[in-house]
Structure 1
Amino acid sequence: MTLKSLQVDATWVRRLVALAGRGWDRSELEDVFLRHGWARLGAGGRPEIAWGGGAASPHDIDGGGEGGIGWRLELGDPPGKGAEDAYVRLSCALFWPAFGEEPQDAEHTEDEEDDLDGDYGPAWIRRPGATRADFHAEYDRLGALIRAELGEPDRTTSADMDEYGEIWNRDTGEVVLQRTDDINSYSHYDVIALRVGIVQHPR
């Protein structure tokens, strides 16, 4: 059993949840990405941001590739007229094996390997031998950081295989902290993700 997590601190949480309170003008949002170091200027003088890639093609923040998977954001539709699913999502922690249950034979699991671990770079802090309780503790830690900004969630969701989510409603969007299946790794991991979804208001 393994847990790996990014060092998502109060600053990261504050910056992400603040997105849900913005008007989500594309140009203004891309300027925010630039100020936070989440994007670099492209040849045309605008930030290079991979909108629409979602889980299939995340937007690398720290270069990615050479040192393994690092900080990256999954991005939905570019905000603006006609956007149906505009969002920003950060995968914060990964737990293996997936699907919500502790293995019955822990000794056997220790002999197995997390085959995808080598794909992840040094930005991910590894905790070999971690339990699902440790995974839940990381979820609770992140939840406490969001509560410090937004108070208690407006609602919660749950499903089989340890899926759980807390949702905070905002004027122009919603903030979701979710514990769920990791699409990026084709369900190799369970993931804790912080997602900011945008409500598009007609102008």
Structure 2
Amino acid sequence: MTLKSLPVDAVWVRRLVTLAERPWDRAHLEDVFTRHGWARPGPGGRPEIAWGGGAGGPHSCDDEGDKGDDSGGGVGWRLELGDAPGEGAGDTYLRLPCALYWPPFDEEPEEAGDDSEDDEADEADEDDLDGDYGPAWTRRPEAARADLHAEYDRLGALIRAELGAPDETGSGEMDERWERWSRTAGEVLLELTDDINSYSHYDVIALRVSLAGPPAEV
């Protein structure tokens, strides 16, 4: 059982949750990406941002990329993004995967039996996607599921320090948890759920900020 987590601190939380305090247009939001170092200007001056990629095509926020080899790269800080403000279906959001836990809920490795089963058990005890993730992630190879919940609670405390108590809390049968804050121009969601990006290989803690577009012209 393993827990991987990014060092999400009060600065990261503040930068994300305060986005939901005012409506955004694309130029303003992309300027925020540049100022925070989440994106670099492209050839035409506009930041290269993977709008609309969602969980399947997240936007890399650092120089590690998604190489997943022995070069020191691998998955680092990344944001799963909805549509750019004012474009597509209008569902603009930023979602930061903060921690990953293996194995996912209800898929604990089976107990080892005789010698013929030991090799299979050893393989089952290994997180075979771990090599895809870069050094930005802190690894706890002996973590228990309680450690995953402790990380969720730590992140929740950081959000509470900024926004106060959530407007809604909930849990599900598959060990899901969520807390939701309604804000002036969107909402903030902290969730523990299955990780779509890894095809549910992990359970994930993610911080999601849904944003409203600019006010309509009268």
Q: TM-score, normalised by structure 2?
A: 0.87
The answer to whether the Cα contact below 8 Å between 1:100 and 1:190 also exists between their aligned partners in 2 is no
| Separation (CA, whole Å) in 1 of partners of 2:121 and 2:8 | 27
The answer to whether the Cα contact below 8 Å between 2:79 and 2:95 also exists between their aligned partners in 1 is yes
Deviation at 1:156, TM superposition (A): 1.5
What is residue 113 of structure 1 aligned with on the other side?
126
AA aligned to 2:74 is G
What is residue 158 of structure 1 aligned with on the other side?
171
| Separation (CA, whole Å) in 1 of partners of 2:112 and 2:46 | 51
Deviation at 1:11, TM superposition (A): 0.3
Alignment of 1:40-189 (within 5 A): 40-63=40-63, 64-66=65-67, 67-80=73-86, 83-99=89-105, 105=111, 111=122, 112-189=125-202
Deviation at 1:58, TM superposition (A): 0.4
The answer to whether the Cα contact below 8 Å between 2:109 and 2:121 also exists between their aligned partners in 1 is no
Percent identity of equivalent pairs: 71
Deviation at 1:198, TM superposition (A): 1.6
| Separation (CA, whole Å) in 1 of partners of 2:212 and 2:22 | 10
The answer to whether the Cα contact below 8 Å between 1:24 and 1:80 also exists between their aligned partners in 2 is no
Secondary structure, in 3 states, of the residue corresponding to 1:47?
coil
How has the CA–CA distance of structure 1 residues 102 and 137 changed in structure 2, closer, same or farther, with 3 Å as cutoff? farther
AA aligned to 1:44 is G
Deviation at 1:101, TM superposition (A): 6.9
Bigger mean CA offset, 80-89 vs 102-111: 102-111
- 5+ residue gaps, structure 2, are 68-72
AA aligned to 2:45 is G
| Separation (CA, whole Å) in 2 of partners of 1:160 and 1:199 | 31
Secondary structure, in 3 states, of the residue corresponding to 2:189?
strand
| Separation (CA, whole Å) in 1 of partners of 2:112 and 2:166 | 35
Larger Cα Rg: Structure 1 or Structure 2?
A: 2
- 5+ residue gaps, structure 1, are none
Deviation at 1:69, TM superposition (A): 0.4
What is residue 202 of structure 1 aligned with on the other side?
216
Deviation at 1:99, TM superposition (A): 2.0
Deviation at 1:171, TM superposition (A): 1.1
The answer to whether the Cα contact below 8 Å between 1:101 and 1:161 also exists between their aligned partners in 2 is no
What is residue 70 of structure 2 aligned with on the other side?
none
The answer to whether the Cα contact below 8 Å between 2:110 and 2:121 also exists between their aligned partners in 1 is no
| Separation (CA, whole Å) in 1 of partners of 2:47 and 2:22 | 18
The answer to whether the Cα contact below 8 Å between 2:95 and 2:207 also exists between their aligned partners in 1 is yes
How has the CA–CA distance of structure 1 residues 87 and 100 changed in structure 2, closer, same or farther, with 3 Å as cutoff? farther
How has the CA–CA distance of structure 1 residues 197 and 106 changed in structure 2, closer, same or farther, with 3 Å as cutoff? farther
**CA RMSD between the two structures:** 2.0
Deviation at 1:106, TM superposition (A): 8.8
How has the CA–CA distance of structure 1 residues 82 and 189 changed in structure 2, closer, same or farther, with 3 Å as cutoff? closer
Secondary structure, in 3 states, of the residue corresponding to 1:20?
helix
| Separation (CA, whole Å) in 1 of partners of 2:159 and 2:121 | 34
AA aligned to 1:97 is P
